[in-house]
């Protein structure tokens, strides 16, 4: 989850998994596991991209994009992902909220490049 940056998503509709979380103190293997989960998510059918950031206060938001709700459910059933979520509840997170949402419309802005 170290990759800062934007997901290149197709035209809507598609789905977003909005994961807001408050980390506990200390790394406790979190960084390596988060990187592994980002890698594993990217291999899932229907994965469209991910955006993730966390402030110095330990509050973070990750949004993963998928083509269908069924592919989100399949990712939830992935055994390695399920084991990581279990460890997340035991060790890494004080609190999290997960929201599954259907992206209806999207637009963007990029500043002109000045050389």
Interacting residue ranges for a second copy, rule: CB under 8 A? 4-7, 9, 12, 16, 18, 20, 22, 24, 51-57, 59-61, 63, 69, 88-89, 93-111
Question: How far is residue 30's CA from residue 23's CA, in Å, rounded to a whole number?
Answer: 9
Note whether 14 and 64 are within 8 A (CB): no
Nearer to a second copy by Cβ, of 83 and 94: the residue is: 94
* Minimum CB distance to a second copy, residue 1 (Å): 10
Which of these, 50, 34, 5, lies nearest to 93 by C-alpha position?
Answer: 34
3-class secondary-structure state, position 89: helix
* Minimum CB distance to a second copy, residue 75 (Å): 15
Nearer to a second copy by Cβ, of 34 and 60: the residue is: 60
């Amino acid at each position: 989850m170290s990759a800062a940056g934007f997901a290149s998503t197709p035209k809507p509709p598609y789905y977003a998994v909005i994961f807001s979380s408050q980390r506990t103190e200390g790394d406790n293997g979190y960084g390596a596991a988060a990187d592994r989960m980002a890698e594993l998510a990217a291999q899932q059918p229907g994965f469209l991209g991910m955006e993730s950031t966390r402030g110095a206060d330990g509050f973070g938001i990750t949004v993963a994009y998928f083509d269908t709700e069924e592919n989100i459910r399949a990712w939830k059933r992935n055994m390695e992902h399920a084991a990581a979520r279990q460890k997340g509840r035991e060790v890494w997170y004080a609190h999290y909220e997960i929201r599954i949402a259907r992206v209806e419309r999207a637009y963007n802005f990029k500043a002109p490049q000045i050389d």
